[in-house]
Amino acid sequence: MRKILVIGSGGREHTLVWKIAQSELADKIFCAPGNGGIERLAECINIETEDMPGLLDFALHEKIDLTVVGPELPLAFGLVDQFEKAGLRIFGPTKKAARLESSKVFAKELMRKYEVPTANFRIFEDAQEAKNYINQTGVPCVVKADGLAAGKGVIVCETAQEAEKAVNSIMEDRIFGDAGKRIIIEDYLEGEEASIIVLTDSNEAILLASSQDYKRVFDGDKGKNTGGMGAYSPTPFVTKDLFQEIRKQIINPTITGLVKEGIDYKGVLYFGLMITKDGPRVLEFNVRFGDPETEAVLPRLNSDLVEAMLATTNRQLAKFSRFGGLQWDNRACICVVCASGGYPGKYEKGKEICGLEEAQGLSDIVVFHAGTLRLGSTALTTSRSGQANDTYKYTTNGGRVLGVTGLGNTIKEARERTYQAVKMIHFEGMHCRRDIGDKAIKN
């Protein structure tokens, strides 16, 4: 009996649970704390992602065989270190390794030392010095808080006034708290963004299929940054040759650099890249699966994810790779996020979600839940087609509510199918982008 615990409550975690549930290696899945959709596939337990003693007690008591960490905070706090100390198998990097995401200064210095291509930058601990530097070097530029800021710590500045305001709010007003003690000012890079998710055990790196995230709230990349309004996979502009270049110039030197620094990295390493006319450059590292990229990438994975994760924690990725590695579905996948009215600003919760059953009934559509709550308990019924229907009632319970995901022979087909499903879903205030996937079609 193999028991697996997934930590987190978003669309990424629903996707992980959905994929893990397809594995013959998983007999029982728990999720802490989970969400309305995850409840269909896993036993959700009421422990928050940052409650380290609670998670550890639970895993020890239940004799969990494999724990998979979704979000960055538990990793940055050292959950993996604690689980490993207690003799538990856990998929994810240690606290020291998680600094690649939890400190942008650490990440940039590592890239400089090991010649990983990234934007030119300077680090500042003093606001006035930072502002003087902006006056000397000019705009556009990008101001980044060193520490974790829930994805909001990066401000792209077109004018000197905007850049000064960004420095003041991060360093003086401390809008991100201590994350703003130090900042980075870096050159603005132009190009197309791509996300490359890698499995690594420090010896071997296995690249997952490429994807692209849509971070801004409105069509045409307008409006505020969000946690991600949609994604698609694969990205046509990341050609086979470019994949090799990314591996050689970026992924291998990063992992070798970590090893030279005495950092043993096991888990997922996410490379947020800008493909510039001079080649790929690293914008950021994440030490976990991207959200919503995971929703667009994992439905294309034909291989057993649990097997790959166990190979990672057992340091057997080279062998796993020799025996075929990861196999992919050639079809394209698109995930469109349906968000609450007002998101990424203030929004209301508790709105009834309609049309889920109809949307899920379409072929090659999966609806991943992010911020949802399941109400009451109505039994599953069986439709005329013999498919089990989900007749539970769900309400909204977060900013990003659903990730409606569809596969198709081409991006265009996946996109048509996905938006057809989106059209069937409704809740008060719902909004989504209408242009997810267009960058692939344009390319």
Instruction: Tell me the three state secondary structure of residue 395.
Output: strand
Residue number, 200 or 212, with CB nearest to ligand GLY: 212
State which residue, 215 or 415, has the beta carbon closest to ligand AMP.
215
Minimum gap (Å) between residue 286 Cβ and ligand GLY: 5
Nearest distance in Å: CB 352, ligand AMP: 33
Query: Considering the rule CB under 6 A, would residue 153 count as an interface residue with ligand GLY?
Result: no
**How far apart are the C-alpha atoms of 440 and 443, rounded to whole Å?**
5
Chain mean position to CA 67: 17
Look at residue 293 and give the partner it binds from ligand AMP, ligand GLY, none, a contact being a CB closer than 5 to 8 Å depending on partner kind.
ligand GLY
CB of 151 to ligand GLY, least distance (A): 6
Asked if residue 115 lies in contact with residue 253, where contact means CB atoms within 8 angstroms, the answer is yes
Q: Which of residues 413-432 bind ligand GLY (CB under 6 A)?
A: none
228 binds, among ligand GLY, ligand AMP, none (CB under 5 to 8 A by kind): ligand GLY
Look at phi and psi of residue 133 and say left if phi exceeds 0, alpha if psi is from -120 to 50, else beta: alpha
Pairing of strands 3-8, 154-157: unpaired
Q: Does 101 bind ligand GLY (CB under 6 A)?
A: no
Q: How far is the CB of 98 from ligand AMP (least distance, A)?
A: 15
Give 53's contacts (C-beta < 8 A, 6+ positions apart): none
The answer to whether 13 contacts ligand GLY (rule: CB under 6 A) is no
The answer to whether 36 contacts ligand GLY (rule: CB under 6 A) is no
> Measured from the CB of residue 283, what is the shortest distance to ligand AMP in angstroms?
4
- From the list ligand GLY, ligand AMP, none, pick the one residue 37 interacts with, judged by a Cβ distance below 5 to 8 Å according to partner type: none
Q: How far is the CB of 63 from ligand GLY (least distance, A)?
A: 31
DSSP letter assigned to residue 177 = G
By CB under 6 A, which span of 30-38, 238-246, 288-296, 300-308 interacts with ligand GLY? 288-296
Residue 290 binding target from ligand GLY, ligand AMP, none, CB below 5 to 8 Å by type: ligand GLY
DSSP output for 216-254? EEEGGGEEEE-S-SEEEE--TTS-HHHHHHHIIIIIHHH
- Residues between 64 and 83 that touch ligand GLY (CB under 6 A): none
Which residue, 52, 113, 111, 119, is CA-closest to 86? 52
Closest by alpha carbon to 390, among 406, 371, 367? 367
Q: How many residues are given for the chain?
A: 443
Nearer to ligand AMP, 71 or 272 (CB): 272
> How far is residue 228's CA from residue 343's CA, in Å, rounded to a whole number?
11
Q: Are 268 and 206 in contact (CB under 8 A)?
A: no
Residues 194-213: x where in contact with ligand GLY by CB under 6 A, - otherwise, as a string: -------------------x
From ligand GLY, ligand AMP, none, which one binds at residue 291 (CB under 5 to 8 Å depending on kind)? ligand GLY
Size of the site for ligand GLY (CB under 6 A): 7
Q: Does 295 bind ligand GLY (CB under 6 A)?
A: no
Three-state secondary structure of 283-323: EEEECCCCCCHHHHHHHHECCCHHHHHHHHHCCCHHHHHHC
| Residue among 190 and 241 whose Cβ is closer to ligand AMP | 190
Comparing CB distances to ligand AMP, the nearer of 227 and 408 is: 227
Query: φ, ψ for residue 416 (rounded to 5)?
Result: -60, -45
Of 189 and 199, which CB lies nearer to ligand AMP in the complex structure? 189
- Closer Cβ to ligand AMP, 273 or 430, answer by number: 273
CA angle 332, 336, 342 (to 5 degrees): 165
Relative orientation angle of helices 252-260 and 104-113, to the nearest 10 degrees: 100
Smallest separation, CB 290 to ligand GLY (Å): 4
Which parts of this chain interact with ligand AMP (CB under 6 A)? 119, 142, 154, 156, 186, 188-189, 193, 215, 272, 283-284
Q: How far is Cα 406 from Cα 392, in angstroms, rounded to an integer?
A: 22
Closer by beta carbon to ligand GLY, 204 or else 213: 213
- Minimum Å distance from CB 329 to ligand GLY? 21
Can residue 146 be called a binding residue for ligand GLY (CB under 6 A)? no
| 286 forms part of the interface with ligand GLY (CB under 6 A) | yes
Cβ proximity to ligand GLY: between 201 and 293 the closer is: 293
For 72, residues 6+ apart whose C-beta sits below 8 A from its C-beta are 98, 101, 102, 148, 286, 287, 288
Identify residue 179 by its one-letter amino acid code: A
Where does this chain bind ligand GLY (CB under 6 A)?
151, 213, 228, 286, 290-291, 293
